[in-house]
A = this chain, B = another copy of it.
Amino acid sequence: MLMSDPFVVVGGDAAGLSAASKCLRTDPDRDVIVFEKGSWVSYAHCGTPYFVKGEIEHLTDLLSLSPEEAADRGIDLRRGHEVVAVDTDARTVTVAHDGETTEQPYGDLLVATGARAVSEPIEGSTLDGVFTLHGLDHAADIRSYLTPPEAFDVADLGGGDALDEATAARYGGMDPPGTVAIVGAGYVGVEMAEAFAAWDLDVHLFQRSDRPVPGFGDAVGDAVTDHLRESAVALHLGEEVRRLDGAGGRVDRVVCAGGTELRVDAVLVGIGIRPNTGFLADTPVAIGESGAVATDEHGRTSLEDVYAAGDVAEMPHTVTGDPTWNPLGLPANRAGRAIGSTVGGDPEPVGRVSGTAMVKVFDLECGRTGLLDHDRARGAGFDPVSETITAGSRSGYYPGAAETTVTLTADRDSGRLLGGSIVGTDRAAVRIDTVATALGGEMTVAELERQDLGYAPPFSPVWDPVLVAAKVLNGSLE
């Protein structure tokens, strides 16, 4: 039986190594091989803006599992090994390493190849001084560029043996930028605005739509707009960056579709990511509408012995049940862990995703979960109604109470909660977990309004802002 063939994992990041670790805890006798095409494994994507900012000193601080620890867990981790093809009939993967290719049989296969940052359709993105932020090498390059040459030492990056030192050193030798353009005001864009501002750069943030962090809804977008401007970020809304120009191979200008031009020394492109599914092109593994790999409730693809998890895979949505591409950290870890358990012989569902997310924008805390966008809610068969309220984060008389804005969306007929967002400066982001849990419990807004949440003047008013929003929305549903 092929079950004796190894559990082969393609990709050594959150989903892949979670699966490998959990499989070995569940079935210590299983052979588990992880192929990682790069040199980094198990690193915290979400920490990279703070490494660039300088709040986190070393690249290695961002690793949650070292290659040595992976080996201690019994994982056969092979870095610098790229899986270039899969033969799902023969149950083998083709692995490229040091210019050679070999065939590796698998009993079970996990596709955990993640996603990559894209810069298309912007022209000129290969110029020096133009970056995306996806991975530790990118982060190292950007911080190196920000550091004055006389202060630069590649060892200060703390990259260990995994860092591509040549590119970092080349940027370390250049004059640091004075003006930076960030293209795209999603998570990466707003976090990098904070990081660049900490280096005293003139920061220009370009966003095609009329608000930053569009996935967080209008109320959060408005608050973030104000806060970015108060934080001296030049915000260019409704501006689509078309082209990056440069002389001598180095970027020096941003050109927008409407004709706006800006002189710059650096550009950070944060307009999106795409799942890395290319190596599956010749297989029958089904790809979903989103472009990510379709999976079932156990993370199985259209093939019985092939799983997918993390930024490369779809997962079912909490509210709609529909396949959803939601490339975020927790679902990747959770799905990886569940698949490891399933492959190890103890079947576990991967769970659902609500798109719950938090982001810090300078001093502002933002959160979102579920369906906020009315068009999308209508597409899923709901009749969405939203209300936005602003309430205090603490009792009004207690020092430090801050305005907290909550939006909740519900279905008019059933009263079912569909989603929510929150923004504020005092403990705002973690409050989204209340809404996320109410979504997971398939609550109506009336039920959410009656949840017995905590109250203490230093932490929350009698009616938590989430409850105030539920009260108002419930009133408008009646």
Whether B369 lies near A452 (C-beta < 8 A) is: yes
Give the complex CA separation of A333 and B367 in angstroms.
Answer: 27
Nearest B residue to A440 by beta-carbon distance?
A: B451
Contacts of A427 in B (CB 8 A): 427, 430
Chain B nearest CB from A406 CB (Å) reads 13
Instruction: Kindly state the separation between the CA atoms of A466 and B431 in the bound complex, as whole angstroms.
Output: 13
Is B463 within 8 A of A330, CB to CB?
yes
Stoichiometry, copies per complex: 2
A120 interface residue per 8 A CB criterion:
no
The minimal Cβ–Cβ distance linking A63 to chain B, given in whole angstroms, is 9
**A248 close to B (CB within 8 Å):** no
Cβ of A453: which chain B residues have Cβ within 8 Å of it?
Answer: 330, 356, 433, 436-437
When each residue 20-54 of chain A gets 1 if its CB lies under 8 Å from chain B and 0 otherwise, what string results?
Answer: 00000000000000000000000010110010000
- Compute how far the CA of A447 lies from the CA of B436 in the bound complex, rounded to whole angstroms: 13
* Known A451-B440, A463-B333: A46·B430 in contact at CB below 8 Å: no
* Smallest Cβ-Cβ distance to A48: which chain B residue: B457
- Say whether A464 faces chain B, with CB atoms less than 8 Å apart: yes
Q: Does A395 contact B (CB under 8 A)?
A: yes
Instruction: Report which of B47, B318, B432 forms a contact with A397, defined as CB distance below 8 A.
Output: B47
Q: Which of A93-101, A199-207, A231-239, A347-355 contacts B (4 or more CB under 8 A)?
A: A347-355
A290 to chain B, nearest CB (A): 17
Note all chain B residues with C-beta closer than 8 A to A229: none
Q: Is the CB of A457 within 8 A of B397?
A: no
Task: Say whether A174 faces chain B, with CB atoms less than 8 Å apart.
Answer: no
Q: What residues of chain B lie closer than 8 Å to A357, measured between beta carbons? A: 454-456
Chain B residue numbers with a CB within 8 Å of A331 are 452
Contacts of A450 in B (CB 8 A): 334, 349, 351-352, 440
B438 touches A61 (CB 8 A): no
Q: Give Cα A46–Cα B462 distance, bound, in whole angstroms.
A: 10
Q: How far is the CB of A108 from chain B (nearest CB, A)?
A: 22
- Tell me which of B50, B55, B443, B456 contacts A46 (CB under 8 A): B456
Q: How far is the CB of A447 from the nearest CB of chain B, in Å? A: 7
Q: For A356, list chain B residues within 8 Å (CB).
A: 452-454
Interchain CB contact (< 8 A) of A454 among B56, B367, B443, B454: B367
- Assuming the contacts A429-B459, A430-B431, asked whether A454 and B369 have C-beta atoms less than 8 A apart, the reply is yes
Residue A472, interface by CB 8 Å: no
Closest-CB distance, A189 to chain B (whole angstroms): 14
* Pairwise interchain contact A352-B397, C-beta atoms closer than 8 A: no
Contacts of A433 in B (CB 8 A): 431, 433-434, 451, 453-454, 460, 464, 466
Chain B positions within 8 Å of A330 at CB level: 452-455, 462-463, 467
A358 sits at the interface (CB 8 A): yes
Alpha-carbon distance A422/B459, docked complex (angstroms): 14
Q: Are A44 and B430 in contact (CB under 8 A)?
A: no
Q: Within 8 Å CB of A454, what residues of B? A: 330, 356-358, 367, 369, 429-430, 432-433, 436
Most B C-beta atoms less than 10 A away, residue of A47, A331, A351, A457: A457
Residue of B nearest to A422 (CB): B454
The 9 closest A-B pairs by CB, nearest first: A441-B441, A351-B450, A358-B456, A358-B454, A437-B437, A354-B452, A61-B397, A429-B459, A433-B434
Beyond A44-B457, A328-B455, 20 additional pairs, beta carbon < 8 A = A44-B397, A55-B398, A56-B398, A318-B452, A329-B462, A330-B454, A334-B450, A352-B452, A353-B452, A357-B455, A358-B455, A358-B460, A359-B456, A360-B459, A429-B454, A429-B456, A433-B451, A433-B460, A437-B448, A441-B441
